Chains A and B, each alone.
Chain A
Amino acid sequence: DADVTQTPRNRITKTGKRIMLECSQTKGHDRMYWYRQDPGLGLRLIYYSFDVKDINKGEISDGYSVSRQAQAKFSLSLESAIPNQTALYFCATSAAGTESTEAFFGQGTRLTVV
C-alpha cells in the first residue's frame, strides 16, 4: 500500500457541486500539504497543516477549504466547483525537520469540472 493515499484518483463533477478530496498517510508525519498542478505553472500550494490544530492558507486558497481530521488525514474541499479548478491535485507529507526534509506525495487526483 502507498504511504500517502489519495481518493478518488479521478473525478468528474459539475459546476456548482461540492466535492471533497481525501488524503491519508501512514508515514506518521505531522506536516501535510495540498498542491494543485496546472500545465506551465508547476505545483502551487493551496493549504498546509502542521498538526491537527494548525491550518494555514497557501498561495491559492480561494475557493478551497480543508479539514485535518486526524494526524493521518487531511481533506480538501471545493465548496462550489468551477471549471478553472480543473487540475491535478496532490497531497504531500513531510516530517518535522529542516530544509533537507523530503516531501512524500500521493498519486494525485485528476479533477475535471464541467
Chain B
Amino acid sequence: AQKITQTQPGMFVQEKEAVTLDCTYDTSDQSYGLFWYKQPSSGEMIFLIYQGSYDEQNATEGRYSLNFQKARKSANLVISASQLGDSAMYFCAMRRPRGGYNKLIFGAGTRLAVHP
C-alpha cells in the first residue's frame, strides 16, 4: 500500500535557524512525485516544493529545499533561516500516476512553531 509517514507531530525552532521536517514514503512505483504543502492557522493549503522520483538534483525553492534520498525513500523538507511566519502545519504528499489516476496522498503533518 502507498503510504506517507511524518514522524514528528510537532517541532520548534528558533527564528533564523534551519529546521528539517521528516517525511518517508512507501511505494512500489518507479515514477512518482513528492510535494510539500504548508497550512497556516488560516487553514488554506499552500504548495511549497515538488520533487520528481527521477530528478537527480534536490529541489529548491527560495528558503525551502527538499533532501531527497530515494534509496531510503525519504523526502525531508529543509527550511533555512526560519521566520515567524513559517509557523504552520506542514504536509508531505505523494502523487502516483499509476493507471492514470493522479491521486495525491498525504502524511499526518508536522506542526512547526518558530520562536523569536
List the interface of chain A (C-beta within 8 A of B): 31, 33, 35, 40-45, 48, 50, 56, 58, 88, 90, 92, 94, 96-105, 107-108, 110
Contacts and interface: CB of A to CB of B under 8 A. Distances in A.
B101 to A, nearest CB: 7
A108 B39 CA distance: 11
A50 B52 contact: no
Interface stretch (B14-22, B64-72, B76-84, B102-110): B102-110
B91 interface: yes
Contacts, number: 72
B77 to A, nearest CB: 15
B104 A33 contact: yes
A98 B106 contact: no
B32 to A, nearest CB: 5
A99 B108 contact: no
A42 B108 contact: yes
A45 B4 CA distance: 14
Contacts of A104: 47
A103 B104 contact: yes
Interface string B26-52: 000001110101000001110100101
Contacts of B102: 31, 94, 96-99, 101
B53 interface: yes
A23 B17 CA distance: 39
B45 A102 contact: no
A107 B43 CA distance: 7
Contacts of A110: 43
Given A33-B104, A92-B104, A99 B96 contact: yes
Given A42-B91, A43-B91, A98 B43 contact: no
